[in-house]
Amino acid sequence: MARLIYVPVVHSLAEMGSAAAAYQAAFVARYGEKKLAERAAEFDAIWVAIADGIRSLRLDLRRVNLYQDSLPVCGQERALVHDMAVQGSRNHQLLEALADSGASIVGTESPALLLEEYKLVQSSERTEARAAELLDARDQFIAGRIDETLGEGMTGILFIGALHDVAKHLSKRVSVEYLAVRNT
């Protein structure tokens, strides 16, 4: 058996890339600077709780694979994680810290499916049905990637957006647990 720790995540401004400035401006215009600062503090608290939750598992990080939403299989995964960490992504800062302690960062997503989703988001012909179909295709790819890279007796940690349902596509040899976090 292999073990997968499922960590649902909410994406921050740092992970929105070129769309971040427009989103931030729209958010501030609607809710104000104070609400933006409150939201940033809430995100930080969530990531502290996630890090504490992972630490409490007392895993041998040399036997842990890290899987990340939107991280393409490309041979440059560690560099991509570092770039996002430097930009302020708490998610990627945690990935980098875990990797520095022995865990392996594993390319998780199909570059072609990520590109297709990006194009769909930009398209005026986007439909909810097509978006759901593409999300499911991504989930199938992620599950296949976990199955092929997570060896027997190993633990994987999957950081994944809340809309995903990767677990339904995993093979029976992968035992899924959800990280219990306490956000105080």
Rounded alpha-carbon distances, angstroms, from residue 5 to 30, 80, 83, 112, 114:
36, 22, 24, 26, 23
130 is a domain residue: yes
Buried b (16+ CB within 10 A) or exposed e, 154-170: bbbbbbbeeebebeeeb
Distance in angstroms between the alpha carbons of the first and the last residue of the chain: 34
163 is a domain residue: yes
Residue 72's domain comprises: 2-178
13 is a domain residue: yes
116 is a domain residue: yes
131 is a domain residue: yes
183 is a domain residue: no
Asked whether 87 and 14 are in contact (CB, 8 A), the reply is yes
Q: Which of 131, 154, 152, 167 is nearest to 60 (CA)?
A: 154
184 is a domain residue: no
28 is a domain residue: yes
Asked whether 145 and 108 are in contact (CB, 8 A), the reply is yes
Selection from 14-23, 35-44, 55-64 with the highest mean pLDDT = 55-64
Using pLDDT thresholds of 50, 70 and 90, give the confidence band for residue 151: very high
Helix, coil or strand: residue 170? coil
The pLDDT value given to residue 18: 60
The pLDDT value given to residue 121: 83
The pLDDT value given to residue 155: 98
**How many structural domains compose the chain?**
1
